[in-house]
A = this chain, B = another copy of it.
Amino acid sequence: MNLTRPALHTSLSPALLHLYNVSNSIVVIIDVLRATSTIATVLYNGAKCIIPVDSVAECIRIGKQIEGITAGERDGRVAEGLSYGNSPFEYPREFVKGKTLVLTTTNGTKLLHMALDKGAKKIITGSFPNLTSVCNYLIEQKLPVILGCAAWNDKVNIEDALFAGAVINRIKEHFTINCDASQLAETMYIDAKESPYEFLKAKNASHYNRLSGFGLEKDIRYCLTEDVADVLCVYEGGKLIISQSHN
């Protein structure tokens, strides 16, 4: 056993993030349905950057200031006053190439700012669409990792835990994992990996129900598909950008 392997932990809810040593870690923000999947897609499709903000008001203010695309959701729908929502399909290459998106989402951007406030060493976003980039980066950095699930209003959700489990399943040999939440996430992922979509449906996952109630099955299927927007999204200087050195 290599005793120098860095630690990996999974925080299943933002309300548990304070239990982990954020300040010496890479924090992976995970909001599978749909913020971090959309972030990967927007950057993959050539946007210049994404500015994640906490509130709709700030989104509008900054959007005007920089002439960016204002985007975001509250409770699964386009937030009032913003131009676009949180669906990856709203952001094809011909629309977003070279542009700046100002984004606010219910849970994902909140967690990102928590990680920032707690002094995370590095912050990246993770989703099935950019799974391989996330895994390669975490292996390469040789730093402690916190897989931070955005959850839903602090309630643990299946899809974010599933993604944490997918990452763990791929990179665990490179880390020291003394973390029951990580084991729980990986155990569930192993059960689900043949078809995460069918798994969410069968398990009556709360956000699956919420989004499919809005007719968003296509979004859900996309957000559970590996490596369809496989770029590394890092948070630097107030913006999410593609890390040039890793793509």
Residues of A with Cβ closer than 8 Å to B? Answer: 12-13, 15-16, 19, 152-158, 161, 177-181, 183-184, 187-188, 191, 203-207, 209
Contacts and interface: CB of A to CB of B under 8 A. Distances in A.
A19 B155 CA distance: 7
30 contacts: A12-B12, A12-B156, A13-B16, A15-B16, A16-B155, A16-B156, A19-B153, A19-B155, A155-B179, A155-B181, A156-B181, A156-B184, A157-B180, A158-B180, A158-B183, A158-B184, A161-B180, A161-B184, A177-B204, A178-B204, A178-B209, A180-B203, A180-B206, A180-B207, A183-B203, A184-B188, A187-B187, A187-B191, A188-B188, A191-B191
Contacts of A154: 16, 19
**Top-3 shortest CB links A-B:** A183-B203, A156-B181, A158-B180
B178 A206 contact: yes
A12 B15 CA distance: 11
Contacts of A19: 15, 153-155
A190 to B, nearest CB: 8
A157 B184 CA distance: 9
Contacts of A184: 156, 158, 161, 184, 188
Contacts of A161: 180, 184
A118 to B, nearest CB: 15
Contacts of A191: 187, 191
A124 B180 CA distance: 25
